[in-house]
Amino acid sequence: MMSEFLPTLEFAKQLDEKDTLSRFREEFYLKPGTIYMDGNSLGLLSKRAEKTLLETLEDWKQYGIDGWTQGKHPWFYMSEELGKKLAPLVGASEEEVIVTGSTTVNLHQLVSTFYKPEGKRTKILADELNFPSDIYALQSQLRLHGLDPDTHLIRVKSRDGRYLDEEDLIQAMTDEVALVVLPTILYRSGQILDMKRLTEAAHKKGIIIGFDACHSAGSIPHYFSEWDVDFAFWCNYKHLNGGPGAVGALFVNRKHFNQLPGMTGWFGSNKEKQFDMEHTFTPANSAGAFQIGTPHVLSLAPLIGSLDMFHEAGIERIREKSLKLTQYLMDLIETELAGMGFHIGSPREEERRGGHVSLEHEEAARICKSLKENGVIPDFRAPNIIRLAPVALYTSYQEVWEVVQILKTIMTEKQYEKFKNEREVVA
């Protein structure tokens, strides 16, 4: 519980008055009468992201093909420039990050590069709580090597269905494992894995290790270079507010720059050689080599404005407020919703908790529908999880207080009973 906590509206307002990041709230388009608690699935549009998107459209209008090298935001180096902006948020050098592809495409690229089955080292290590798309990609990569995913994809079990124990993951790193791919944060519970410890353990056993940072990028600080992580990949539409379908990003440790990407394409070329049109691929001496095709310029453009805000706010301050918001939310849940069948499924320890709170209830799907009817936008994850994500840049403490009061009313009045306890097509 917070050192000072009161379950009152006045206390929430006091917290807002002390909030040093509150000015950024005005930068976002917030729908009147709605409290948005789903920023861990899709971040809201900011005025700066809108501005840089419109500027890029104007460049297209004014310059046509010359927009590749002219205009407000020239397209030819846009992915590299955004990589430089992202690098401090994940603890990397500018050359180690590139904005390209999508989460799953980037995972395919990285696995095709770093998964090299040889001798008895033929297995890939993952976990049973990972997001399905990652598992699908790993299964297909194994099939491409003529290997059976049922025997060659190790999915480490959770002891309780919520969390992973790092010790279990390390014990599974046997001499049969060629590659480890794990999430930085578990998408259901919000547990942060100890990336530094896991990387050290993998390297001691001669194993390459990479992380899916979709639920952590823009929410917590990372130190990928310092931890000597081999690679990482993530989307930019959640906490980083890049917009639906925003271009993803990847990190490759500079020690691997001499490695030819598993899937090569002309945008991974050395920029000075790219338009020579040679049939010999000359890779960029950076993470840029892992690009495949032409960047999706209009899906890159919003990130220019969005990332400017992250540099102004600072990832450390964002993390500090995020922890306070999630702690405040959990304190309110325990105080106001006691005896109503809820269980907090997120870690209480700050070093293990990401940017959202996982609230479990047997009627979760119906409760989510009631929340939306009452102007709260949550996120449902089967079978019984309500994910609530108070985002540091645009969620107020008063909104967190109001969400819990709305939940209390829903449960007291049993408003959820009029809905079916099943998810919508898009949960």
Contact 251, 224 (CB under 8 A): yes
**75 labelled binding-site residue:** no
**Residues in Cβ contact with 101 at an 8 Å cutoff, skipping those fewer than 6 apart:** 109, 247, 248, 250, 291, 292
Packing angle, helices 397-413 and 364-373, rounded to 10: 120
pTM for the whole structure: 0.96
Q: What is the C-alpha radius of gyration for the chain, rounded to an integer number of angstroms?
A: 22
As a whole number of angstroms, the distance between CA 294 and CA 301 comes to: 14
As a whole number of angstroms, the distance between CA 100 and CA 80 comes to: 9
**409 labelled binding-site residue:** no
Q: List the structure tokens of 7.
A: 């379950």
As a whole number of angstroms, the distance between CA 80 and CA 271 comes to: 11
Domains defined along the chain, listed by start: 9-30+315-418 (3.90.1150.10), 51-312 (3.40.640.10)
pLDDT of residue 323: 98
As a whole number of angstroms, the distance between CA 60 and CA 322 comes to: 38
**361 labelled binding-site residue:** no
* β-bridge partners, 368: none
Q: Please choose, from the candidates 8, 44, 3, 41, the residue with its C-alpha nearest in 3D space to the C-alpha of residue 395.
A: 44
Contact 22, 396 (CB under 8 A): yes
For the chain, which residues score pLDDT lower than 70?
Answer: 425-427
As a whole number of angstroms, the distance between CA 200 and CA 328 comes to: 34
**Is residue 424 classed exposed, middle or buried when 0-12, 13-18 and 19+ CB atoms within 10 A define those classes?**
exposed
**88 labelled binding-site residue:** no
- What Å distances lie between residue 5 and 12, 37, 203, 318, 396, CA to CA? 9, 21, 44, 21, 16
pLDDT of residue 422: 77
**19 labelled binding-site residue:** no
pLDDT of residue 194: 98
Query: What letter would DSSP give residue 65?
Result: G
**132 labelled binding-site residue:** yes
Q: For the segment 83-127, what is each residue's pLDDT rounded down to a tens digit?
A: 999 999 999 999 999 999 999 999 999 999 999 999 999 999 999
pLDDT of residue 425: 63
Reported for 20-29, long-range contacts at CB under 8 A and 24+ positions apart, including other chains, are 20/317, 20/321, 21/313, 21/317, 21/318, 21/321, 21/392, 21/393, 22/396, 24/309, 24/312, 24/313, 24/393, 24/394, 25/393, 25/394, 25/395, 25/396, 27/309, 27/393, 27/394, 28/241, 28/393, 28/394
Looking at the chain, how many residues does it have?
A: 427
As a whole number of angstroms, the distance between CA 336 and CA 330 comes to: 10
**419 labelled binding-site residue:** no
**256 labelled binding-site residue:** no
CA atoms within 13 A on the CB side of 65: 0
Q: List the structure tokens of 344.
A: 């907090």
pLDDT of residue 424: 75
